[in-house]
Structure 1
Amino acid sequence: MPIATLSVYFFLQAAVILFACRLFGQIAKRIGQPQVVGEMIAGVTLGPSLLGWASPDLQAALFPPQTLDTLYVLAQFGVGLYMFLIGTQFRSDHLNSRLGGAFSVSIAGIAVPFALAFAIVPWLVGVPDLFADSVQVFDASLFLGAAIAITAFPMLARIIHERGLANSPLGTLALTAGAVDDAAAWCILAVVLARFGGSWESAWWAISGGVAYAVFMMLVGRRLLRQMVDKAKPDAPLSDTMLAVLLILFCLSAWSMDAIGVHAVFGGFLLGACMPKGALVEKLREMVQPFVVVFFLPMFFTFSGVKTDLGMVLEPQLLPAAIVILVASFAGKGIACYVAARLAGESSRDAKAIGALMNARGLMELILINIGLQAGVIKQGLFSILVLMAIVTTLMATPLFNWIMRRDEGKATAIDKS
């Protein structure tokens, strides 16, 4: 397809994508859901699951295979930049303040998902269209464990902050446990990607390279970034030159992780996490985040949706696997974290709230499974099942959390009146 024709397709696709995501996002907000949930659903509706089912010719004309490479590049750049911005909001004090109290919840949120994954994957590898033929049971178990263990940390943090619970025992415990679980899941994913690329030798090269880069960023990079941050004037807008330097650093960080066999999003997040907090970071988010969230993330949701066929989930050979994976996801995260919180001495309300929040997967799940699909670890059938799991668990999180909190507040009011 000529480049000029690709550009015509892109502008039309972008208009349709932005309209659909805004529409579904507003609908989601009206029914009490985060806008990101509506945008996730919008991406799926533009794929074969709805538009392709209702009008196959229209869906094929709007998203021909030749144009998906352009959409892929934009989606990957956008999600990498989003993870960079998420990294700038990462607060190590959450890890330090209640690390001991959140230890049992974090361990349960990691150990149980991986135990369930290792239990069911030997059967799942025999089911068609789930895992690549060349993937080993051990690697498949690691990947599925990471997919079940991941938490929608940005959404969890947003709910905690919107409810004014950031400095409460509940908020601190949930943020700490979510951060630890996601860090573990991403590390395991890095191992799977490195292993799938060849052998343990390539895996150790990727891991050692990633660790060396992380150590460099924390010990040297953070100091260099601090010098740059100190040059920024708090009362002046972020200069074009400073913005260009930050974007260059992001691209180089993403490239370095991709070059050693780890995904680019790790580089973006690590750079953001090492950015000293202050006026520069706040101005950067003010300038960049609106465009990333409004323009780039819908591209990522749609690219994921175009590859998702929820009709496959209902096929007789995949439906039992889908049910088992969904049950394992709920039991391995929500229920496990609730039980662990109760055993750690948390109240019934707080334990339920933690289980509800930790069970959401959201955008983080979509990023993880897109990486798995791109690397050839999983096939479209498992990809579609895990997209469904991400949507369902994310849809449940906010209303379930609000119901738990209102129910407890209602009980407290009734007790006070009596």
Structure 2
Amino acid sequence: MPSLLEITTHFFLQVAVILLTYRLLWPVFRRLGQVQVVAIMVAGFLLGPSVLGWAWPQAQQWLFPTNIEIGGTSIMHPNLTAIYVVGQLGLVLYMFLVGSSFKLDILSKHLRQAGATSATGVAVPMVLGGLVGWWMVGQGRYFTDKVANWQGALFLAAAVAVTAFPILAWIVYDSGLLNTRLGTMSLACAAVDDACAWVLLAVVVATAKDSMGGAFLAIGGGLAYLLFMTVIARRWLARLDVWVPRRGDPERAGGLPVAPLTVVLLVILLAACFTDFVGIHSVLGAFVVGLVMPRGELMEQIRQRFEPLVGYLLLPAFFIYTGLNTKLGLIVEPTVLVMTAVVLVVSFVSKFGAVGLVARTQGMGWREAGAMGALANARGLMELVLLNIGLTAGLITLELYTILAVMTTVTTFIATPVQRMFERSAWKNGRVFGPTGEEPNPIAEPTPAGESKHAVPVATVSRANPAGQATVS
């Protein structure tokens, strides 16, 4: 067993390699019209066994060891545990920042459209994904023996229906769509999709363990948590916005008052702990905390200070952990390749078609509806969380894990270019996506290709933070 000093030293090296890898990838992906989080996702796969492990297996196994032998027993390597924990912390803090930036005022004006779009965006992918999952169980190599046909159907239904809320949030903010109807409704639909996916996953995990109590705990605990946070905790947290330090109070951290900052961090961590315990995952708990936080100077300061650290240091550890479990060599067999193609087609078409069509019937223009359908395919982070849970719970094999990881990467990679294709079409017709939908373009001159050009109605977006409000100039 390595010493604490060895674990720490190696961890610092791992983080440095992660940062260097995705920063080297970013210029390439920026030219491809991607947002930075896609480069971070791909960096995770490159540093895993599929690429680095194939090209230089000794270096990959030394740099990112996954197991260690102790007394003839193989256990998870302490450094892999450290990467996992840091990644989960980054994920929780990131989702809190996303929730605190959510535009509730825009959503309230489009609740009917968001509700109809969310329902369809969940139902159609679930039905098609469920049919594929039922079929895959019969093939005998994608699910473990303890999974029945209906359980496999529910798992794949959840995998196909999910929209990665954190990744979508990053895309929305990085693309300057934060203050638009398109961005707000896309995030609202993603939140509903993810909640439904976690309920399905809780049912599958609980029944696989012959314990329906887990499913009831997830549903009941989730509803109780949501009710408590929106009715009671919201009123308590509102006091933070009017908190005044005592005269001569020295407790300030870089301009932030320490007392309310400590309260915010405690609430985030306790919420993440509770929602993990009941089975609906810590990310949704942290997101709800962000939703009910008062919008004021305190939250603005927290976002400004936390965003760079969370988005570019802590969160990449999660993608590395996922990449270490993905083995692309498992899908080179013809039958597995065919299954990968089937899952890809069903996943993309069901989301893009269902969300795009129903958004169009709810009053969106065809360009805005098409852009929304494209954004719904950003499965990234939540899909990878779901896969990790399925793998650790002994529900799926490495073949299915890799198939769905490939589907996640491809659909997320496609989402931004397709969305921008619809946006360019609107731009050429003198329109932009704004708070009320497609609006007249307030900028007389077209923005040069490759520059951000969206959506804050009276200004062009010059820079956007990974988990906060776009900065305008």
Q: TM-score by structure 2 length?
A: 0.79
Extract unaligned runs of 5+ from structure 1: 414-418
Give 2:402's aligned residue: 384
Give 1:135's aligned residue: 147
Extract unaligned runs of 5+ from structure 2: 67-76, 246-253, 432-473
Q: TM-score by structure 1 length?
A: 0.89
Q: CA deviation at 1:81?
A: 1.9
Q: CA deviation at 1:232?
A: 5.5
CA spacing shift, 1:36–1:224, aligned 2, 3 Å: same
Query: Does the CA contact (< 8 Å) of 2:275 and 2:281 recur in 1?
Result: yes
Residues 163-209 of structure 1 show CA distances to partners (whole Å, capped at 9, x for unaligned) of 66555554554444334333433443344444445422232133222
Give 2:233's aligned residue: 221
Q: CA deviation at 1:58?
A: 1.0
The farther-off stretch of 190-199 and 54-63 is 190-199
Q: Does 1:204 align with 2:216?
A: yes
Look up the SS of the partner of 2:138 in the other structure: coil
Q: CA deviation at 1:36?
A: 0.3
Residues 257-294 of structure 1 show CA distances to partners (whole Å, capped at 9, x for unaligned) of 22334423232222222222222222111122211111
Look up the SS of the partner of 1:64 in the other structure: coil
Give 2:355's aligned residue: 337
Residues 122-141 of structure 1 show CA distances to partners (whole Å, capped at 9, x for unaligned) of 21113455323223333332
Query: Does the CA contact (< 8 Å) of 2:380 and 2:408 recur in 1?
Result: yes
Q: Does 1:352 align with 2:370?
A: yes
CA spacing shift, 1:129–1:42, aligned 2, 3 Å: farther
Q: For 2:187 and 2:168, locate their aligned partners in 1 and report how far apart those are by CA, in whole Å.
A: 7
Give 1:106's aligned residue: 118
The letter for the 1-side match of 2:85 is V
Q: CA deviation at 1:341?
A: 2.8
Q: CA deviation at 1:33?
A: 0.9
| Structure with more helix by fraction | 1
Aligned ranges 1:190-339 → 2 under 5 Å: 190-231=202-243, 237-339=255-357
The letter for the 2-side match of 1:145 is A
Query: Does the CA contact (< 8 Å) of 1:87 and 1:271 recur in 2?
Result: yes
The farther-off stretch of 25-34 and 155-164 is 155-164
Q: For 2:94 and 2:172, locate their aligned partners in 1 and report how far apart those are by CA, in whole Å.
A: 20
Residues 127-166 of structure 1 show CA distances to partners (whole Å, capped at 9, x for unaligned) of 4553232233333322222222222444545555666655
Query: Does the CA contact (< 8 Å) of 1:338 and 1:351 recur in 2?
Result: yes
Q: For 1:52 and 1:214, locate their aligned partners in 2 and report how far apart those are by CA, in whole Å.
A: 43
CA spacing shift, 1:43–1:112, aligned 2, 3 Å: same
Q: For 1:274 and 1:169, locate their aligned partners in 2 and report how far apart those are by CA, in whole Å.
A: 20
The farther-off stretch of 296-305 and 314-323 is 314-323
The letter for the 2-side match of 1:124 is M
CA spacing shift, 1:142–1:280, aligned 2, 3 Å: farther
Residues 69-123 of structure 1 show CA distances to partners (whole Å, capped at 9, x for unaligned) of 2211212222122222222223433443112223432222111111012211121
Residues 204-232 of structure 1 show CA distances to partners (whole Å, capped at 9, x for unaligned) of 13322222222122221111111233216
Give 2:2's aligned residue: 2
Residues 330-362 of structure 1 show CA distances to partners (whole Å, capped at 9, x for unaligned) of 111012222223344543322222221222222
Q: For 1:287 and 1:44, locate their aligned partners in 2 and report how far apart those are by CA, in whole Å.
A: 29
* CA RMSD in angstroms, aligned pairs only: 2.6
Q: For 1:329 and 1:244, locate their aligned partners in 2 and report how far apart those are by CA, in whole Å.
A: 42
| Structure with more strand by fraction | 2
Aligned ranges 1:12-51 → 2 under 5 Å: 12-51=13-52
Query: Does the CA contact (< 8 Å) of 2:256 and 2:301 recur in 1?
Result: yes
Q: Does 1:409 align with 2:406?
A: no
